[in-house]
Chain A
């Protein structure tokens, strides 16, 4: 979900022959260039890992920056007159929302959730929303849920406003649009972990830093979709509006924005989902709420309790996703509503019912969720986990235990790939990257990819990054094999797809922290469990995109192949898969990006390499280690994105 909004320009596959011709040309050209440059590089800096002479050590300047911030934070005008006000404003707004939620009590909040869902999305979702909030209470998570909700409301509002402003600027002005794109790209690839620490230093631990980090992470989809919506406005309509003599402002508010409404709602939806996924990560700098409960439960290795904190996050995500999604569709559809409760009348009924519910709970002295209504799920979940570990960990007849698999995976896959990558001369890695990126894209994309890879070397984390890269490659391979298999099966059976949907929902929104412990319990510590966690996280997106891509294959092509007597297997191999190629490539690209996103989490279960450095940076307040590793992850992300994302020469228009 994190990057579902990434653009996916698609190459026309019809000109295969010409393309193959071009590919050979590109490779030849590259080979000639290499033949000239490599001997020179080799003579000057030798082969092997990245040469020390070409690195820059940032430890000292970054360490000094940290000290300067801490020493001047209470006195320098930059903090007392600028950053300080921002963090105070954030604290005040979160506090305001939180107090309102507390005053409304559980009855008021549950009623309000149900009624708002009813107004914007219908009765079915209203029941679901109210029930979800009740479950949060039943799990004994009412207060943390309210804290997270307060945090989310403020963060999402800020992200939407910022996204709208950026998107407006980008949608109306080509130059700004061009500058904005790479900025938004970077904001999304940047691992949130890497910038938590600097934000915490500048804005203060806890809520202010968490909100700002969330906004950085969640605003890009809003900005992207706003710009996309504005640029996509129908030319004919715009022409008509102009000819009526509308001013620029009138054109914007009367035509462009209303036409882009559907995209705007999609942007809001994406922003909410991304903000929620930050809720847990932000808990490592003390943001409180549900994320903190999950995080605290994990330190006592209490999976059951972690799940009790994770379920409300999943429920919030699913409810908000469905409600905003339905609202977006309604806005696009302009349904004629003739019920007696339409418009303001419906809203006033909703408001009245909410107030009555809140007051009723208050008079009954039941403002807080009653302690007697709490169900403790932790013991049974832990029993289930223990059973799993006892019976699957090792010595299972015939198939072997999960720990044995992990050991084999490490020895036979991860180690050779890592050693192979680290054994390659540094210039040859750059060459391979250049060749791959150029074959699939243009010379610009190849240049970006090579520059990103070189930046990793300059930062002095070359071999660690290759270690991380080997984990990513292994994770992507497993994800893609499993994802394509499940996706193909789901595309052929509607029933399977329906069964899979809630499972995929849960895996996509469940905070990664929750499954860290089961992963260690099953696979031990090390790189194998890190890869396993990454696969769990990335699989849903790959399955979804694959299923959708295969489903959308032209029915006529399928029909004609069947009439020619093709078997089901032939049909899949020779018609469906080739035609769905763009979707499959997008699935691969998403797989890569999502697997990389879990690298940091992998650091928490022994994945080592860059992920560990980022975690270390936060834990020790060490800006140098954390930021450099974070920058290296961004560079890896950029490189992998360019190598897996086919681009034609970028058209002037597009996302």
Chain B
């Protein structure tokens, strides 16, 4: 019994301490990273998504924030949906490239008003099914979904069994592929690579041996420069045709990619917020930086530096006046 009373008193003491230290309510919307603003530096925390395009955005923004505006930049890699949550809580200040999350937009931007839109990145994203161009040249009719069943046995792997393999990537990506295969009556098995890194590695392996493959992939993407791929036409996308995920029978839309900021940061973020709001570049620009990072294995910082040295006119217009 003595143990128990001691435990209770310990719990009470901890509780009292917590109450004293907080002096009331804790604000869950203001939870900056413990590493932020350390050692007297002004910091901005950016969320980095796992694909290289987003890393290119962040790399260039980081370089300019550091060298032109005197900020320290912390980068945090989180998956897309949790990143919205982190943005809402102020744990990160900005997401530089969002591929469209209507549910999160409704919740955080419209209802809770903890996140505000930050404008276009200047890049339009598109998801689709792709085959390697070396294969499409030999079999031109593979680029129409209606002929895919004819080629199913060429796309077979040990993982897909007796069906063709449609390779999907990271679980965080938007995908209707399972439903599409079902609804379009395709003789394919969706095999999830589980991460973009695994998917890229596998595509490069296939390409090295000039093997046929069918994969979920997206534009803009640096890998196209290394492994040219041709899109397979799916039934045309029309507004609202993807409303019911179970009945979906159409291609993916073209999405102008967006930036999002924490509401507090947008208001009180000073020069950094103004700069990030102005940040806008083209697909070609982004691909140039992405390729340097992912293929030439330059550090994001060096890649950003190289691009910045070449394009002063573009980035100078982003700097706050």
A residues in contact (CB < 8 Å) with B: 70, 73-74, 79-89, 91-92, 94-95, 98-99, 102-103, 147, 150, 165, 168-169, 172-173, 176, 197, 200-201, 204-208, 248, 283-286, 288, 292, 295-296, 298-302, 304-305, 378-379, 382, 389-390, 393-394, 403, 406-408, 410-411, 415, 516-517, 520-521, 524-528, 602-608, 611-612, 615-616, 618-621
Contact = CB atoms under 8 A, between A and B. Distances in A.
B7 interface: yes
Most buried by B among A94, A208, A379, A525: A525
B197 interface: yes
B79 interface: yes
A295 B77 contact: yes
Contacts of A204: 28, 31, 86, 89, 91
Contacts of B193: 525, 605-606
A201 B81 contact: no
Contact of A526 (B51, B81, B157): B157
Contacts, number: 233
Contacts of B80: 619
Contact of A74 (B29, B157, B293): B29
Contacts of A618: 79, 82
A499 B144 CA distance: 57
Contact of B194 (A102, A382, A607): A607
A165 B10 contact: yes
B78 A524 contact: no
Given A285-B82, A604-B194, A606-B194, A84 B27 contact: yes
B309 interface: no
A608 B167 CA distance: 12
B43 to A, nearest CB: 12
Nearest to A292: B77
A74 B197 contact: no
B197 A301 contact: yes
B91 A205 contact: yes
A605 B85 contact: no
Interface in B234-257: none
A305 B25 CA distance: 43
B46 to A, nearest CB: 11
Nearest to A409: B158
Secondary structure at the A interface, as helix, strand, loop or mixed, is helix
Contacts of B200: 301
A606 B205 CA distance: 15
B38 A517 contact: no
A305 B294 CA distance: 12
Nearest to A618: B79
Given A206-B33, A286-B76, A411-B158, A300 B171 contact: no
A147 B34 CA distance: 9
Most buried by B among A82, A84, A98, A102: A84
A525 B194 contact: yes
A527 B157 CA distance: 12
Contacts of A406: 158
Interface in B73-126: 74-83, 85-86, 89, 91-92, 107, 112, 114
Interface of B: 2-3, 7, 10, 18-19, 21-22, 24-29, 31-35, 38-39, 47-48, 50-52, 55, 74-83, 85-86, 89, 91-92, 107, 112, 114, 157-159, 161, 167, 170-172, 191-202, 205, 208-209, 293-294, 297
Most buried by B among A83, A94, A205, A619: A205
Contacts of B158: 406-408, 410-411, 415, 526, 528
Given A526-B157, A603-B194, 14 more contacts: A88-B21, A98-B34, A98-B38, A102-B38, A205-B91, A206-B91, A292-B75, A298-B197, A406-B158, A407-B158, A520-B201, A528-B158, A606-B193, A621-B81
Given A85-B18, A525-B191, A606-B159, A520 B197 contact: yes
A165 B8 CA distance: 12
B105 to A, nearest CB: 14
B18 A516 contact: no
A169 B3 contact: yes
A81 B21 CA distance: 11
B55 A300 contact: yes
B192 A606 contact: yes
Contacts of A102: 38-39
Contacts of A411: 158
B35 A205 contact: no
Contacts of B81: 619-621
Nearest to B194: A604
Contacts of A92: 34
A284 B86 CA distance: 12
A277 B47 CA distance: 24
6 closest Cβ contacts across the A-B interface?
Answer: A84-B26, A619-B172, A205-B86, A526-B159, A95-B34, A616-B171
7 contacts: A74-B29, A205-B91, A206-B86, A292-B75, A299-B50, A517-B201, A604-B198
